[in-house]
Amino acid sequence: MNKRVYGVLGIKSIMANWNADFSGYPKTISSGETFGSDKAFKFPMKKMWDEKGEKVLYIKSLKAEEDKKEGIKVRPKSLKERFEEVFKIEDLSTIKDSREIYKNLFSAVDVKNFGATFAEQKNNIGIIGAVQIGQGFNKYEDTTPEEQQILSPFRVEKASASNSNTEKEEANATTLGTKIVSNEAHYFYPFSINPLVYKPYIEMGVTEGYTEEDYKNFKSTSIVAATAFNSNSKIGCENEFAIFVEVNEEQYLPDLSQYIEFEKREDKNIIRLNFDTLINDIIENVINVEIYFNPYTTILEGNISKSKVYNIFTGKEV
């Protein structure tokens, strides 16, 4: 692929928790701003690829194994075990040519896009991904966390009985759980695609490089994966915006998400693109611009040259 791509991917979260920290609350920085990590965006993409039968290496998988003391336990697989499973290799330690490991890694769709760190069996491999996704900051000012108490249908077994009436009542009661969500949040993730980072690996003969097909696969998955991934905490999360700006290899662009504004309205929200002047100033190096958004809930503002606008759900031009 002989071009670079810059863009922004937008996620809407309504009474959901797009990306929680270890306390269970939506992630924030020291100033209190809510954000989502790049891992939160990559995860539903990996799940979608995995469900379609594509090779995905860096995703949690489980195995049942026997423990002499504890019996049969279900545990996550190690990176070595996952590698051997995905690439149908009996034993990683038998591979003496590191180029074979590189070839396998590049055949995984997640590695081809996002890169990899692979330190197994005396191999210390680091691949910088052609696709780099930044942190997605929430641009809705009135986001607040909501804590819900949930009644469990089960009581907790006590290790020992007590004569205390209070403790007897607690032993007969079911437990309370907590679910934490955001009332509403709108995350905007910057990303860039630079196929040139794979040039050394092309010369080594371990990959054909980042291709147009790789890009199309990334684009089609990135605009639907959040909507498709309906876990309990993500059921209110969906893709609501995406822009892909394709430029010549010699053209560089800054983080485009910093030029986007979100405004909450009674009828339809507004996503305002304030980088039209920037794009127009480099228009001779712009190959193509595609914008996807939710026209049922959102008004798009911004006159971007060479742009085609699509319904993010139907794929039809608006």
pLDDT digits (tens, 9 = 90+) for 28-65: 999 999 999 999 999 999 999 999 999 999 999 998 88
Structure tokens at 50: 């995995």
pLDDT digit string (tens) for 243-301? 999 999 999 999 999 999 999 999 999 999 999 999 999 999 999 999 999 999 999 99
Regarding whether 186 and 167 lie in a shared domain, the answer is: no
Same domain, 53 and 160: no
Regarding whether 267 and 154 lie in a shared domain, the answer is: no
What residues contact 81, with CB distance under 8 A and at least 6 apart?
Answer: 63
Q: Which residues contact 11 (CB under 8 A, 6 or more apart)?
A: 18, 36, 41, 136, 186, 187, 189, 226, 237, 238, 239, 240
Q: How many domains does the chain have?
A: 2
Q: How far apart are CA 37 and CA 17, in angstroms?
A: 12
Tell me: do 159 and 244 sit in the same domain.
no
Report if residue 76 sits inside a domain.
Answer: no
Residue at 68 is within a domain: no
In a domain, 134, yes or no: yes
Task: Indicate the pTM of the whole model.
Answer: 0.90
Based on the fold, state whether residues 126 and 262 are members of the same structural domain.
yes
Domain annotation covers residue 82: no
pLDDT exceeds 60 at position 160: no
pLDDT tens digits, one per residue of 191-235? 999 999 999 999 999 999 999 999 999 999 999 999 998 776 688
Q: Indicate whether 15 belongs to any domain.
A: yes
Highest mean pLDDT (candidates 17-26, 90-99, 148-157, 209-218): 209-218
Q: Is the dihedral of CA 225, 228, 234, 237 positive or negative?
A: positive
Domain membership flag for residue 211: yes
Residues 9 and 134 in one domain: yes
Instruction: State the residue range of the domain holding 168.
Output: 145-178
Identify any residues that bridge with 243 across adjacent strands, giving them in sequence order: 8, 291
Residues 275-303 as b or e (16 or more Cβ within 10 Å = b) = beeebeeeeebbeebbbbbbbeebebebe
Distance separating alpha carbons of residues 282 and 306, to the nearest angstrom: 11
Residues 292 and 157 in one domain: no
H-helix or E-strand containing 218? helix 212-222
Instruction: Give the whole-angstrom CA distance, residue 54 versus residue 119.
Output: 23
* Rg value, the chain, Cα: 23
Tell whether 150 is covered by a domain: yes
H/E segment holding residue 162: none
The answer to the question of residue 70 being in a domain is: no
Which residue, among 90, 87, 112, has the nearest Cα to 101 in the 3D structure? Answer: 87
- Higher-pLDDT residue of 166 and 178 is 178
pLDDT at 188 over 80: yes
> Same domain for 135 and 266?
yes
Amino acid at 87: F
Per DSSP, the residues of 109-153 read HHHHHHEEEEEETTEEEEEE-SEEE--EEE--TT--EEEEEEE-S
Residue 232's pLDDT is: 62
Our CA dihedral for 242, 48, 41, 112, rounded to 10 degrees, sits at -90
Burial class (CB in 10 A: 0-12, 13-18, 19+), 228: middle
